Amino acid sequence: MKRVRLQSGQELTIRQAIPADAEEILAYIEQISAETDYLTFGPGEFGITAEQEGIFIDTLTKSDNKLMILAFLENKLVGHLTFMGGSRPRTRHAGELGVSVLRNYWRLGIGTKLIRCCLDWANKAGIRKVNLRVRSDNTGARHLYEKLGFVYEGKTTREFCLDGKFYDVIHMGIEID
């Protein structure tokens, strides 16, 4: 568990997820899926039961190259980050992160704290490459990732289709020495 101060002076608690968090995480995911169109799913589309989520979390906690961390403000889950390292020997050193923060808590530095915590963990865990994908029109997230050292590595066109409109996805990554 890690406690950090935000720019607002509030104390943010970041800790690893445990299976008992499954229901709270799913409620968070349902809320955030209704708050933004930048995710790969919308309300009611996540498709995981609390039991399945608990098993998934348990699997992550037993892995040395996978991570799920949660951010809490005043005991409320406000941020979530998952890192999935490769499953084969040739790709174990690399993986992809996904991060989200509830809309009412955007621009407080929570995403920054979660990603820095992940990068610190990755360095200690022997991860040498962290990748992510971000919708091309999500300029706020792209700015955050660039500020943290992620660089543009490519683009996939028409990755998202929302209300008949297509959106591209930018691939970004950071090398860890």
Encode pLDDT of 141-150 as tens digits.
999 999 999 9
pLDDT confidence tier of residue 177, bands split at 50, 70 and 90: confident
pLDDT at 116: 97
Give a yes or no: residue 172 inside a domain.
no
E strand intervals along 40-113: 66-73, 76-85, 94-101
* Coil/strand/helix, residue 70: strand
Taking each helix axis as running N to C, give the angle between helix 22-35 and helix 50-61, from 0 to 180 degrees, rounded to the nearest 10: 110
Does the pTM of the predicted model rise above 0.85?
Answer: yes
CATH number, domain at 41?
Answer: 3.40.630.30
Is 162 within a domain?
no
Residue 93 domain-assigned (yes or no):
yes
The answer to whether residue 173 is domain-embedded is no
Strand partners of residue 60: none
DSSP helix/strand/coil, 57: helix
The whole-angstrom separation of Cα 82 and Cα 163 is 27
3-state secondary structure of 156: strand
Q: How many other C-beta atoms lie within 10 A of the C-beta of residue 174?
A: 19
Phi and psi at residue 27, in whole multiples of 5°?
Answer: -65, -40
pLDDT at 7 (0 to 100): 86
Of 97, 142, 138, 100, the residue nearest 120 (C-alpha): 97
What distance in Å separates the CA atoms of residue 110 and residue 120, rounded to the nearest whole number? 15
Q: Is residue 72 part of a domain?
A: yes
- Tally Cβ neighbours within 10 Å of residue 51: 11
Residue percentage of the chain with pLDDT more than 70: 100
Its domain, for residue 53, covers 2-128
Q: Measured between alpha carbons, how far is 165 from 96 in angstroms, rounded to an integer?
A: 26
Number of structural domains found in the chain: 1
The per-residue pLDDT for range 85-120, each reduced to its tens digit, is: 999 999 999 999 999 999 999 999 999 999 999 999
Q: Are 166 and 66 in contact (CB under 8 A)?
A: no
